[in-house]
């Protein structure tokens, strides 16, 4: 992809992020941080590229370490978000 199309995606995504995040209810701000933390670990894509490709041993080791870190975050982040969200209950109407 050329730089301008990438930049367009980035700028538009910033606007989407702005509006989506303002619509998040303040009661869920902690789960929001946990889930954004999990999805920012999409950086694992870069780590996978580094550890998959032949070329440099050092790059491969760095890549694999980054895969470990990002995986901690992905599984930990989504699991802890799930755990938190399961606790939010409505009043039981009798």
Partner 1 sequence: MHELAPVSPFIALAYLVAGVLFILALRGLSSPATSRRGNRMGMAGMAIAVATTLYTHDVVSLPEILGAIVVGGGIGFIIARRIAMTDMPQLVAAFHSLVGLAAVFVGAAAYLNPGAFGILDPLTDEIHNASRVEMGLGVAIGAITFSGSIIAFLKLNGNMSGKPIMLPGRHLINLGTLAAILGLIAYFVTDQSPWIFWTVTALSFVIGFLLIIPIGGADMPVVVSMLNSYSGWAAAAMGFTLGNSAMIITGALVGSSGAILSYIMCKAMNRSFISVIAGGFGAESGPSGGGAAAVDRPYKRGSAEDAAFLMKQADSVIIVPGYGMAVSQAQHALREMGDLLKKEGVSVKYAIHPVAGRMPGHMNVLLAEANVPYDEVFELEDINSEFGQADVAFVIGANDVTNPAAKTDKTSPIYGMPILDVANAKSVLFVKRSMGGAGYAGVDNEVFYMDNTMMLLADAKKMVEEIVKGLAH
Near partner 1 in 30-49, by CB under 8 A: 30-49
Q: Is residue 22 involved in binding partner 1 (CB under 8 A)?
A: yes
How many residues touch partner 1 (CB under 8 A)?
81
Q: Is residue 3 involved in binding partner 1 (CB under 8 A)?
A: yes
Q: Is residue 86 involved in binding partner 1 (CB under 8 A)?
A: yes
Write the CB contacts of 80 (distance below 8 Å, at least 6 apart in sequence): 34
Task: Classify residue 77 by burial, with Cβ atoms within 10 Å: 0-12, 13-18, 19+.
Answer: buried
Please give the Cα distance from 27 to 93 (Å, whole number). Answer: 21
Task: Provide, rounded to whole angstroms, the least separation between the CB of residue 93 and partner 1.
Answer: 10
Chain residues 50-69 in contact with partner 1, contact rule CB under 8 A: 50-56, 58-60, 62-69
Please give the Cα distance from 43 to 48 (Å, whole number). Answer: 9
């Amino acid at each position: 992809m050329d730089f301008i199309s990438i930049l367009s995606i980035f700028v538009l995504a910033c606007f989407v992020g702005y509006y989506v995040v303002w619509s998040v209810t303040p009661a869920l701000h902690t789960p929001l941080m946990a889930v954004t933390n999990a999805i920012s670990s999409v950086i694992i894509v870069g780590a996978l590229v580094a550890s998959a490709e032949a070329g440099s041993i050092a790059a491969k080791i760095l890549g694999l370490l980054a895969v470990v870190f990002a995986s901690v975050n992905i599984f930990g982040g989504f699991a802890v978000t799930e755990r938190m969200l399961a606790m939010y209950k409505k009043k039981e109407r009798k």
